[in-house]
C-alpha cells in the first residue's frame, strides 16, 4: 500500500531554468526505461530532451517516496486518451506530470484522479487562442481584466483548463469551449459547463500556485466536495532529485 493518506495531494516542482549539469541529466536518465529514453531522443531540441528526462525521473522518485519500489522498477501504461498510469501493484496511485520552459512538476495522490499544468508566463499571449478555445464567460473574464493583468489571467485560465482535462483523463477530446474555469481570489477556481459536457462540477477541486516569478501552475483533483483534500507543495533542484536517488536506490 502507498504511504500516502487519501486527503494529501503532493506536488513537487523542479526549477530547470538555468543550465543543468550534464552529469545530473545522465543520473536522471539512468532511472528511465528504454522506451522513455527513446521518447526523449525524439525531441528536436536538447532543452526539451532534458525537461522530458527530468520530469520522468521526478515521477519515479516521487512514486518511490510513497511506495517500497525502486525508481527503476516502475512500469507504466496509458489509457485510450494517452493518460499514463501504473501498470501493476498499486491501483490506487494517481499521478500527472507537466513541463514547460524552466519548470518541471509532478503531482501524486491516492484514489483521486489528478491533473497538473504549468506555463511560462513570459511567453507571448495569443488572444486568438482565447477566442477560439475559451468559453464566453472566460473571455468576458479576460475582457474585464486590466491590460497589466491580462497576461497573467490568460495563463491562469489556460492552466486550469489543461489541469481539468488531464484530471478527467480525456485530454483534448474534451472541447475546451464546453466548460469554464474562472480563477477566484483564494487561489481556487469556479467550474461550470456550457453544453455537451456531462460532469459534476462539485467533483473537481482546483489549486493555483506560482512556483516561480516566471510560471503559473494549476492542479485539479477529482474529489467530492465533502471530503478533505489539501495540497502539499515541495520545491526541488535537479541535483536534489539525483542526490535522493543515489542515497536510496543507487543504479
Give residue limits of the domains in the chain.
Answer: 1-109+230-251, 113-228
pLDDT tens column, 179-201: 999 998 776 888 998 766 678 88
Rounded distance, CA 9 to CA 14, Å?
Answer: 17
pTM, to two decimals: 0.93
Rounded distance, CA 189 to CA 181, Å?
Answer: 6
Rounded distance, CA 146 to CA 142, Å?
Answer: 8
Whether 249 shows a pLDDT value over 70: the answer reads: no
Q: Which three cell numbers stand for residue 233?
A: 507543495
| pLDDT at position 251 | 41
Whether 244 shows a pLDDT value over 80: the answer reads: no
| pLDDT at position 129 | 84
CATH of domain 113-228: 3.90.470.20
- The yes-or-no answer to whether 1-109+230-251 and 113-228 have a common fold is yes
Local confidence band at 246 (pLDDT 50, 70, 90 cut-offs) = very low
pLDDT tens column, 38-71: 999 999 999 999 999 999 999 999 999 999 898 9
| pLDDT at position 229 | 93
| pLDDT at position 116 | 97
Rounded distance, CA 47 to CA 103, Å?
Answer: 11
The correct CATH number of 1-109+230-251 out of 1.10.3860.10, 3.40.50.620, 2.40.170.20, 3.90.470.20 is: 3.90.470.20
| pLDDT at position 209 | 94
Look at phi and psi of residue 244 and say left if phi exceeds 0, alpha if psi is from -120 to 50, else beta.
Answer: alpha
Amino acid at each position: 500500500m502507498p504511504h500516502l493518506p487519501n486527503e494529501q495531494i503532493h506536488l513537487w516542482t523542479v526549477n530547470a531554468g538555468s543550465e543543468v549539469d550534464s552529469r545530473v541529466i545522465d543520473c536522471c536518465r539512468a532511472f528511465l526505461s528504454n522506451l522513455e529514453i527513446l521518447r526523449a531522443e525524439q525531441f528536436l531540441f536538447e532543452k526539451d530532451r532534458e525537461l522530458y528526462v527530468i520530469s520522468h525521473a521526478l515521477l519515479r522518485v516521487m512514486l518511490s517516496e510513497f511506495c517500497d519500489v525502486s525508481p527503476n522498477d516502475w512500469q507504466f501504461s496509458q489509457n485510450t486518451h494517452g493518460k499514463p498510469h501504473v501498470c501493476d501493484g498499486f491501483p490506487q496511485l494517481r499521478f500527472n506530470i507537466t513541463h514547460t520552459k524552466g519548470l518541471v512538476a509532478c503531482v501524486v495522490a491516492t484514489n483521486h484522479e489528478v491533473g497538473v499544468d504549468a506555463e511560462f508566463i513570459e511567453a507571448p499571449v495569443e488572444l486568438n487562442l482565447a477566442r477560439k478555445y475559451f468559453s464566453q464567460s472566460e473571455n468576458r473574464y479576460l475582457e474585464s481584466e486590466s491590460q497589466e493583468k491580462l497576461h497573467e489571467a490568460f495563463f491562469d485560465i489556460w492552466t486550469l483548463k489543461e489541469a481539468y482535462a488531464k484530471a478527467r483523463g480525456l485530454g483534448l477530446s474534451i472541447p475546451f469551449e464546453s466548460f469554464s474555469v474562472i480563477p477566484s481570489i483564494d487561489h481556487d477556481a469556479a467550474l461550470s459547463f456550457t453544453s455537451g459536457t456531462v460532469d459534476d462540477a462539485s467533483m473537481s477541486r482546483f489549486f493555483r500556485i506560482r512556483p516561480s516569478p516566471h510560471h503559473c501552475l494549476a492542479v485539479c483533483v477529482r474529489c467530492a466536495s465533502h471530503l478533505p483534500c489539501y495540497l502539499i507543495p515541495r520545491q526541488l533542484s535537479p541535483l536534489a532529485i539525483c542526490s535522493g536517488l543515489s542515497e536510496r536506490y543507487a543504479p
